[in-house]
């Protein structure tokens, strides 16, 4: 990926013609809780939404709106998920789009809506109304960080990235902000990701690139096994780069898709690292599976196992738990051929060979497991397919955070 340049200290409002604002309107006690992202130029959009059958009102609304040819704005609030709120909640989502559209001289069908926070409580709409007006009045080309802060809930740091790459003789940008810490599981979780780009690309090709990327990025993350009601990934592309329109699977499409996937993978890692109460980022790489599905199923099973996650919190090289998770994954595998290794900057060590015990240096294993990032490499020795999943350890603080989330 030498063609991708990471732009330090840049955010979504460094992408040409994108403005943003993040403000505090009172949904949360003190922190910013509402943002608007706006493209001054017309834009095409693509999105992927939660697979949970219980979908929040903004998700249900966006599933209709996303079909529209032009989408120029996103309005998002934190502190209240507007989920399980019935017809009234759906109307509230519609009104959020209407209010934002009015302020920006758009139609409601050109605005997407997102919410995150507590489930089952109606929105405080007097605060939302004032907040949308305030955010729209404060839109600027310097508001990217404020917008990123406004979508955070239990996140401990802002998740953002900006990159630059060439399309022909043009320099294109992709930048994104995301939130996600708990209720995160493959098929996406309490996760919002807003991606903006100046790439000139058709809606059909943007949709294809995003949906293919999600399968190997956000959908390979698990923090706690809970798939949320609100999660969504949205990409807006306003064409300001003025590259030749990408309307087929040509070389420029492959470059764009690779760049978009890079952004999504980096955000996925940030989300996994910031799991509620987490102290360690876990990366599970499964090699040499019979099929791609087997590789994915195995990596997800390991990263989701509460026993595996607890062992990593305690820096316990309990490889039996990993083998157990592989065994109940449902994948087609030969348990007598499996090798397991741990690695990071502290070193690397093999702890399981051919599905069984081997002597290993416990002190080195402990040293590796005490680092804040650990790669678990699993060789199934049964095929040619590979998959990677990301997650985190399971700590006392996870229970503390989620035992008192409403208070």
Same domain membership, residue 304 and residue 266: no
Name the catalytic one among 11, 50, 153, 190.
190
pTM above 0.75, yes or no: yes
Same domain membership, residue 227 and residue 129: yes
Same domain membership, residue 229 and residue 303: no
Same domain membership, residue 343 and residue 219: no
Cβ neighbours around 140 below 10 Å, total: 11
- What pLDDT score does 58 carry? 95
What is the spatial distance between Cα 18 and Cα 177, in angstroms, rounded to a whole number? 13
Same domain membership, residue 209 and residue 285: no
- Helices of type H across 247-388: 251-273, 292-304, 306-313, 319-327, 362-369
Residue with tokens 């405080």: 124
Q: What is the DSSP letter of 14?
A: G
Same domain membership, residue 104 and residue 210: yes
Q: For residues 302 and 378, is the Cβ–Cβ distance under 8 A?
A: yes
The pLDDT profile of the chain, 407 residues, written as one tens digit per residue, is 789 999 999 999 999 999 999 999 999 988 999 999 999 999 999 999 988 888 999 999 999 999 999 999 999 999 999 999 999 999 999 999 999 999 999 999 999 999 998 888 999 989 999 999 999 999 999 999 999 999 998 788 899 999 999 999 999 999 999 997 654 444 444 589 999 999 999 999 999 999 999 999 988 887 655 556 778 999 999 999 999 999 999 999 999 999 999 999 999 989 887 776 778 999 999 999 999 999 999 999 999 898 999 999 999 999 999 999 999 999 999 999 999 999 999 999 999 999 999 999 999 999 999 999 999 999 999 999 999 999 888 887 777 766 665 54
Structural domain range at position 341: 281-403
| Pair of tokens at residue 16 | 């040409």
| Pair of tokens at residue 108 | 């409601």
Same domain membership, residue 287 and residue 266: no
Same domain membership, residue 201 and residue 315: no
Domains held by the chain: number: 2
- Residue 91's Cβ-count burial label (10 Å; 0-12, 13-18, 19+) is middle
- What pLDDT score does 157 carry? 87
Same domain membership, residue 170 and residue 97: yes
Q: For residues 195 and 263, is the Cβ–Cβ distance under 8 A?
A: yes
Same domain membership, residue 204 and residue 60: yes
Q: Is 190 a catalytic residue?
A: yes
């Amino acid at each position: 990926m030498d063609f991708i340049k990471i732009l330090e200290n840049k955010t979504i409002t460094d992408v040409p013609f994108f403005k943003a604002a993040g403000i505090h309107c009172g949904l949360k006690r003190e922190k910013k809780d509402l943002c608007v992202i706006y493209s001054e130029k017309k834009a095409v959009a693509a999105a992927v939404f939660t697979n949970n059958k219980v979908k929040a009102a903004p998700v249900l609304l966006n599933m209709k709106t996303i079909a529209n040819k032009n989408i120029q704005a996103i309005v998002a609030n934190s502190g209240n998920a507007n989920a399980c709120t019935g017809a009234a909640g759906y109307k509230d989502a519609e009104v959020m789009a209407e209010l934002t559209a009015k302020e920006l001289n758009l139609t409601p069908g050109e605005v997407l809506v997102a919410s995150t926070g507590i489930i089952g409580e109606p929105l405080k709409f007097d605060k939302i109304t004032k907040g949308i007006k305030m955010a729209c009045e404060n839109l600027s080309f310097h508001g990217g960080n404020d917008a990123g802060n406004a979508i955070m809930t239990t996140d401990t740091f802002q998740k953002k990235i900006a990159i630059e790459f060439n399309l022909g003789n043009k320099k294109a940008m992709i930048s994104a902000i995301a939130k996600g810490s708990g209720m995160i599981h493959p098929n996406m979780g309490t996760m919002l990701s807003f991606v903006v780009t100046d790439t000139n690309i058709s809606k059909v090709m943007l949709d294809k690139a995003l949906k293919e990327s999600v399968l190997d990025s956000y959908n390979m993350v698990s923090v706690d096994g809970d798939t949320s009601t609100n999660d969504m990934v949205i990409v807006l592309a306003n064409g300001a780069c003025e590259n030749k329109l990408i309307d087929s699977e040509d070389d420029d499409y492959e470059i764009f898709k690779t760049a978009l996937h890079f952004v999504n993978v980096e955000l996925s890692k940030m989300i996994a690292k910031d799991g509620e109460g987490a102290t360690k980022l876990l990366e599970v790489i499964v090699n040499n599976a019979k099929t791609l599905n087997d590789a994915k199923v195995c990596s997800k099973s390991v990263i989701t196992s509460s026993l595996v996650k607890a062992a990593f919190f305690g820096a316990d090289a309990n490889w039996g738990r990993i083998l157990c998770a592989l065994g109940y994954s449902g994948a087609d595998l030969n348990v007598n051929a499996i090798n397991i290794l741990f690695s990071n900057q502290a070193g690397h060590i093999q702890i399981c060979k051919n599905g069984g015990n081997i002597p290993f240096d416990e002190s080195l294993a402990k040293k590796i497991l005490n680092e804040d990032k650990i790669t678990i490499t699993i060789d199934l020795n049964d095929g040619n397919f590979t998959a990677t999943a990301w997650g985190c350890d399971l700590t006392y603080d996870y229970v503390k955070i989620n035992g008192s989330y409403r208070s």
